[in-house]
A and B are shown apart, each in its own frame.
Chain A
């Protein structure tokens, strides 16, 4: 009991205040990046890379909401990316190209899927929860591969990006960047509001000790299910953005490897801090983008054949980095920052 009242009366200890500068810096950097991009000369490349970072940031953020605050290890979160993407793609192929219809449909579909699968999955605990969320995502994956009218295995190219109230300004990469930043900021503020609310405290309470929460009169199941639905809807929104950025949808959006990558992003950034998930997504995607080049530059002493093969198979280095981070960098990037700020 004392622990619980302790967390209720002291939500933000003083080191937390110092950490709170980080999200401000993070979002300022995202806002300022287009200016730098236009000066860099490779603006198309920089913009699309950063847009991708923000989209995955939103997806990782949504996962952090249930993983970091509810300890629900969803190993099927990529399914929601797929739902969002296929909502956009399927509607667009039937001539409904306006985001004002596509996004509500995507959100409703994600919410429905989360509600049904969540109600079943949350009956199980621990490893069984991990596996059943995975099973549901696999179901959707195979469903998507069999949707022959919408590309089946190969996926489908979208005719255009979504319109907004009939206007096609998202075709402009700067406008799309701004829209993505808006979604990410909205998702972040919403999540922040959720975790600091009474709802969020109950959710954290169920993570620490579900039996105790039940004893003091809460039903953990309802809170976990609500969080799961909200998280699924946010990931669904990220899926809409992903389909629009690539102007392409495919079952590859929801492979189980993609779900694994999302978990990795959250853990890399640091569980349960929200902006940590965004930083983790950024670190993951930038590493993925630049590791081949770093390897190429760093292996100058090897002969050309080995060097080329090493660059080609950069995941051989990426995998061990992943293992080392898990083994040695507890708390992820936010953990390192926090330890740094304590001296």
Chain B
């Protein structure tokens, strides 16, 4: 019983961690390369979810919806970059926090303005509906396995892209020393735009992938944004590898902590006190984890060498 629950929660944690990674990857690149705090990265995720809801209802299929939603999310990210964000790169972090906070307010209300305040739901695509038996008598939804597969695929793609292509090389160089990259004659503005648009698209992809299993509603990006920040701070800002490992850690710690903290506390406390403190501690776990990591390693687990 406990073993199967642990298996299911591990898979759930893995899936949550990979979604977090998709969001955190863009955030950590934007942060590392441009030294830009983008609080509005969470709304890109929300926009992705709304786009898939709109496009899959319009085209009648999830696949077609995704094919339309991704370029739209990319275009939307680029639009925001041109209109607002590129004017903020030279500003200090405080200005960036505030202006992007303004973008959150605007877009959270904006989706309400366009789609209404009621949550939308997106049907799970036909091929991926249903469950498979992953162990004796243990069913797990196919769609969640598909999310895990898609997340791992994107992570692998990103690894190849960052480590073995020219753009990836520039991105890595930019994270280490942007002035030097610029001095070597690279069009840093265009590099910023590519990185930003790509990050926005990844966040949009994450939003689109979770749309069938969560309800699509205004403000859905706010809390996941904070988690993504926790991930990149733990992983070390600018480090894709750090973001990947930290995202999986956070996903597993959060998911498994929520279902097992009361059980573990029962070893030392009486049952009612254990379930109460367990419920109190579980959502705090990842923040305690982050504080502990920063206490011992103030620049995260995989600091980018400067």
Task: Identify which of B37, B104, B106 gathers the most chain A CB atoms within 10 Å of its CB.
Answer: B106
Would A135 and B113 count as touching, CB distance under 8 A? no
Known: A127-B37, A316-B109, A323-B103. A146 touches B95 (CB 8 A): no
CB-CB contacts below 8 Å: A272-320 with B = 309-310, 313-316, 318-320
In the complex formed, the residue of A with least CB distance to B98 is A326
Contact A127 B113, CB 8 Å, known A257-B222, A315-B105, A322-B102: no
Q: Does A143 contact B (CB under 8 A)?
A: yes
* Inter-chain contact B106/A143, CB cutoff 8 Å: no
Which residues from chain B contact A142 at a C-beta distance below 8 Å? 280, 283-284, 287
Q: Are B226 and A124 in contact, CB atoms less than 8 angstroms apart?
A: no
CB distance from B67 to the nearest CB of A (A): 29
Does B8 reach chain A (CB closer than 8 Å)? no
Task: Pick the residue among B94, B108, B230, B276 that contacts A131 (CB under 8 A).
Answer: B230
Q: How large is the interface on B (under 10, 10 to 19, 20 to 34, 35 or more residues)?
A: 35 or more
Q: Are A315 and B280 in contact (CB under 8 A)?
A: no
Residue B266 interfacial (CB < 8 Å):
no
* B295 interface contact, C-beta 8 A: yes
Residues of B within 8 A of A315 (CB): 105-106, 108-109
Binary interface profile of A, 136-155, with partner B (CB < 8 Å = 1, else 0)? 10110011011110000000
Choose from A120, A143, A267 the contact partner of B284 (Cβ within 8 Å): A143
CB of B84 to closest CB in A, whole Å: 6
Q: Is B298 an interface residue (CB 8 A)?
A: yes
* Interface check B166, CB cutoff 8 A: no
Shortest beta-carbon distance from A214 to chain B in Å = 17
List, in ascending order, chain B residues with CB within 8 A of A75's CB: 97
Query: Is A327 among interface residues, defined by CB-CB distance under 8 A?
Result: yes
Whether a CB of chain B sits under 8 angstroms from the CB of A99 is no
Report whether B108 and A323 are in contact in the complex, using a CB–CB cutoff of 8 Å: no
**Residues on B with beta carbons closer than 8 Å to the beta carbon of A131:** 229-230, 233, 290
Q: How far is the CA of A241 from the CA of B288 in the complex (A)?
A: 29
* B284 and A323 contact, CB distance less than 8 A: no
Please name all residues of chain B whose beta carbon is closer than 8 Å to the beta carbon of A319 when the two chains form the complex.
102-107, 109
Partner of A130, one of B93, B99, B109: B93
Binary flags per residue of B201-219, CB closer than 8 Å to A gives 1, else 0: 0000000000000000000
Q: What's the least CB distance linking B20 to chain A, in Å? A: 15
Cβ of B241 < 8 Å from any Cβ of A?
A: no
Rank and list the top 6 A-B pairs by shortest CB-CB distance, nearest first. A319-B106, A322-B102, A319-B105, A142-B283, A146-B280, A323-B102
23 residue pairs of the A-B complex, CB under 8 angstroms, read A73-B97, A120-B294, A123-B295, A124-B298, A126-B93, A127-B233, A128-B294, A128-B299, A135-B291, A136-B287, A138-B226, A139-B287, A142-B284, A143-B284, A147-B280, A263-B94, A267-B94, A315-B105, A321-B102, A323-B99, A326-B99, A327-B87, A327-B99
Query: What residues of chain A have their CB less than 8 Å away from a CB belonging to chain B?
Result: 67, 73, 75, 120, 123-128, 130-132, 134-136, 138-139, 142-143, 145-148, 256-257, 260, 263-264, 267, 309-310, 313-316, 318-323, 326-327
